[in-house]
């Protein structure tokens, strides 16, 4: 994932694609034969085809970004288009982010540090909500918008082929920055609602299959596959954690061109290890978990 068009795709996480088949059909038509066309991002948005630098946030993700067929031209409130990166932009402490070496496939891809590319995101759009096409309750939407949030989009820095066959990753963090019972209960309620909704992904995203890998208290992991109209399959590893006062989502996914294999085989990363790494930073900050 080193082509500039693929890197630019990560700057428009807010562009929503509601119909999976239509979105990936547009991807296929835009350059499947060269493996340098449209690219899959969280929520299955399509590449903008622009040439901005890696993880450089645009001021607005509007129709001028060239969203592509099947995508909404308007940016959502959770676009993650903050003016800067890291703690200054997001009010999420740098040490709250997962260590890049703990993200699956690090040995092959050498992910950048999420804290170094994180963008402020008000009411962030979670991968689980987009890819499972979930409808959140009004109370869950309110929780998403109530706290400091940030997202970090990651492409391989080494070992990638520069196209759709590469895996991508995204980490999203919501932080109450408080220890009051109301806030912590509210954000944990959002976590439990998300876990319950993901289990039903097969009924909201056509053809989706969910395999729960871990579901213990404030930590959840699942592997989800979704067939596409181009003949490829989205394979998506979802990790959710709710250490005291936080909600954290880590998604690692690939949807290779039809007939291709991912540029890296899944490394069999331990779900418990990933979930523990996601929680270690926040727990060290609060000393409450």
How does residue 81 score in pLDDT terms, banded at 50, 70 and 90? Answer: very low
Q: Give the up-direction half-sphere exposure of residue 222: CA atoms within 13 A in the CB hemisphere.
A: 23
pLDDT for 193-242, tens place per residue? 999 999 999 999 999 999 999 999 999 999 999 998 888 999 999 999 99
Average pLDDT value for residue range 8-29: 32
Name which of 64-78, 83-97, 238-252 the model is least confident about: 64-78
Nearest by Cα to 92 from 274, 252, 248, 287: 248
Q: How far apart are CA 218 and CA 97, in angstroms?
A: 17
- Expressed in angstroms, the distance from the first to the final Cα of the chain is 36
pLDDT for 19-74, tens place per residue? 343 333 333 333 332 232 222 323 332 222 222 223 222 222 222 222 222 222 22
Q: 89: which 2 tokens?
A: 């932009």
Residues 6+ apart with CB under 8 A from 126: 144, 172, 194, 249
Percentage of the chain beyond pLDDT 70 is 69
Q: 179 exposed, middle or buried (CB, 10 Å; 0-12, 13-18, 19+)?
A: exposed
Domains and CATH numbers, the chain: 78-286 (3.40.1000)
Q: Which residues pair with 233 in a beta bridge?
A: 227
**Looking at per-residue confidence, does 52 or 268 come out higher?**
268
Q: What is the pLDDT of residue 230?
A: 83
Q: Are 30 and 238 in contact (CB under 8 A)?
A: no
**Looking at per-residue confidence, does 161 or 49 come out higher?**
161
Q: How far apart are CA 213 and CA 220, in angstroms?
A: 8
Residues 6+ apart with CB under 8 A from 60: 75, 79, 81
Name which of 83-87, 193-197, 254-258, 268-272 the model is least confident about: 83-87
Torsion of CA 147, 62, 252, 132, to 10 degrees: 80
Q: Are 87 and 166 in contact (CB under 8 A)?
A: no
pTM of the complete model: 0.73
Tokens 């109301």 correspond to 182
Q: What is the pLDDT of residue 90?
A: 55
Backbone φ and ψ for 101, nearest 5 degrees, come out as -70, -15
- Side by side, the strands of the sheet bearing 168-175 are 119-120, 148-154, 168-175, 246-254, 233-241, 219-227, 209-216
**Looking at per-residue confidence, does 37 or 180 come out higher?**
180
**Looking at per-residue confidence, does 97 or 231 come out higher?**
97
Q: How far apart are CA 196 and CA 186, in angstroms?
A: 16
Q: 262 exposed, middle or buried (CB, 10 Å; 0-12, 13-18, 19+)?
A: middle
Q: How far apart are CA 3 and CA 1, in angstroms?
A: 6
């Amino acid at each position: 994932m080193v082509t500039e068009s693929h890197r630019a795709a990560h700057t428009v996480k807010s562009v929503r694609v509601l119909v999976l088949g239509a979105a990936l059909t547009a991807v296929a038509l835009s350059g499947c034969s060269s493996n340098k066309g449209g690219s899959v991002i969280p929520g299955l948005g399509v590449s903008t085809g622009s040439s901005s630098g890696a993880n450089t946030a645009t001021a607005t993700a509007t129709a001028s970004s060239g969203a592509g067929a099947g995508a909404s031209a308007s940016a959502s409130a959770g676009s993650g288009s903050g003016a800067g990166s890291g703690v200054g932009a997001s009010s999420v402490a740098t040490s709250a982010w997962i260590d890049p070496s703990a993200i699956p496939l690090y040995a092959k891809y050498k992910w950048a540090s999420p804290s170094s590319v994180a963008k402020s995101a008000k009411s962030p759009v979670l991968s689980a909500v987009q890819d499972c096409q979930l409808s959140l309750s009004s109370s869950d939407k309110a929780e998403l918008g109530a706290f400091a949030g940030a997202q970090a989009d990651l492409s391989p820095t080494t070992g990638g082929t520069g196209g759709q066959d590469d895996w991508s990753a995204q980490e999203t963090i919501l932080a109450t920055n408080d220890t009051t019972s109301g806030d912590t209960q509210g954000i944990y309620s959002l976590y439990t609602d998300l876990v319950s909704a993901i289990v039903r992904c097969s009924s909201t995203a056509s053809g989706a299959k969910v395999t729960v890998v871990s579901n213990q208290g404030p930590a959840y992991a699942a592997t989800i596959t979704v067939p596409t109209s181009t003949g490829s399959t989205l394979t998506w590893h979802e990790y959710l954690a709710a250490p005291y006062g936080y909600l954290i989502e880590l998604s690692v996914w690939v949807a290779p061109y039809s007939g291709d294999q991912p540029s890296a085989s899944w490394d069999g990363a331990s779900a418990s290890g990933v979930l523990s790494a996601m929680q270690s930073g926040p727990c060290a900050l609060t000393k409450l978990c």
